[in-house]
Structure 1
Amino acid sequence: MFRNINIFLFFLTLSVFGMVNVQATNVCDTLPIKHITNGELDDWDPASFDIHDLSGIRFAAENDKTKLYVAMYIMDPSLQKRMALAGMQLLIDVKGKKRESTYIEFPVKKDPLSELPAPDLEGQNTSFTERLAAGMLLLKKKGFKDQSQEIEMELIGTESDILLSFGWDERNVLYIEYEIPLKRLAITEDFIGKEIMVGFKLNAQESLPQPPKAVTQIGSFNARLVGVPAGSGPPSARTTGAQNSNSPPPNKILQPQQIFWMKHVLN
């Protein structure tokens, strides 16, 4: 049985963690498909899922007359942790050219310079999935028709025509489900039978920047005003190796970025 949690109530109360699920049902290819985006994928056909060999992510896309549905599930806990910290994007290119201009980013990449390494994935008082869920409350949208801003941030669970649900089952498999109106992708009846591209981008995972090292002065000195002969130039500037010693080292790439695409024919 799946463990259900209301993510929106978690955000309001800061005491309840939301867990959602993904499941599947058999669907006839000749009939319109309509999924209920509730984080339970039992209205998806398991045979419709492809697998990305390098990451092990399973994903599928379907549509009905008005909406595009995308579902995925991730079994590897280390990959789930990477996604929670580095972020992931669902990419959609209705021209079929693998462009990255329209996307939903979820989880949203954490900024190591302005945030703690949240969520606290090493905490002892909560489960692994609860700690992940604590940092997966926002999504970022770009490139959709009728957006009021170029990039929009949105709280998971708020009223919106673009829906996202996620969660875990009793085996700690993570499920993510998307529901996107075709009109928000500028898709009309002329697109029926045409091929679009749906992809996922796993952001590169970087090491956290180290705090700058304090520069320790060795000894002390006294300064005094001295005369400089007329016509003499100013003392030449000298640099020392310690001048930039407090600059933080560049972040180390722990896991490279990965992008994979699948073709979807609109029906």
Structure 2
Amino acid sequence: MDKNPVIEINDLRMSYGKDGKDILKGINIKVYPGEIIGYIGPNGAGKSTTVKILLGILNEFRGEVKIFGKNILEDNVQYKRKIGYVPETAEIYDNLTAHEYLGFLGEIYGMDIEEIDDKAKKMMTLFNIEGSYNSRISSYSKGMKQKLLIIASLIHNPDILFLDEPLSGLDANSVMILKEILSQLADQGKTIFYSSHIMEVVEKISDRILLLNDGQVVADGSFEELKEMSKEGSLEGIFNQLTGFNQHKDIANQFINILKEV
């Protein structure tokens, strides 16, 4: 493994609101080329805030964030050409066709329009949506839009890929294709930052899992390492143990009892 981290976060802190409530409370992370990072945590733990900082969307943070060895506040444009992002919920320009949308994004990344067109057609064919290349995105199904987002995040061949619930809406075959794509990208030295609430997927694809709770990293290691540390047999069990959530059975029982009420 390359000894130089591709992402380095030192004492990252972030506050929101008039009361200055801390969302991130001193995060320290080093991520290396070729790693698939499973970034998990309960809602409100600070996952999305961390990713938005890394993407350069939020910059009112405290601490230091380096990507490719440079402080992102000093190199705010160049590093973005080398990253890709699939958000959990995306605002796509529905009135554009995939041809227009991918062409627009590709040119932002400095790609030649003919190169964009060639790659876009080939990737859409592999995802079995080539027949909609010149159709307006507003006519796409949820799964088709998700495939388009994945293509858009990869078309410029980024070195770091941020994924937030990327499997949403995908059919089983496309899920298998994406998992294999991620594996091969990691083998090439690309870094994958994968955020999801689907523990089974995170458990299977991640080389390393970072568990965030209440603005702090409470676990960092491979699934096998976390399993040994917590004595739990699944990532879901580890998650529940470390985040202190163990009321799921009781809540489910109460829910069922309400259904039985006459």
Greater fraction helix: 2
Which has the higher relative contact order, 1 or 2, with Cα contacts under 8 A spaced 6 or more apart? 2
TM-score by length of 1: 0.25
TM-score by length of 2: 0.25
Larger radius of gyration: 1
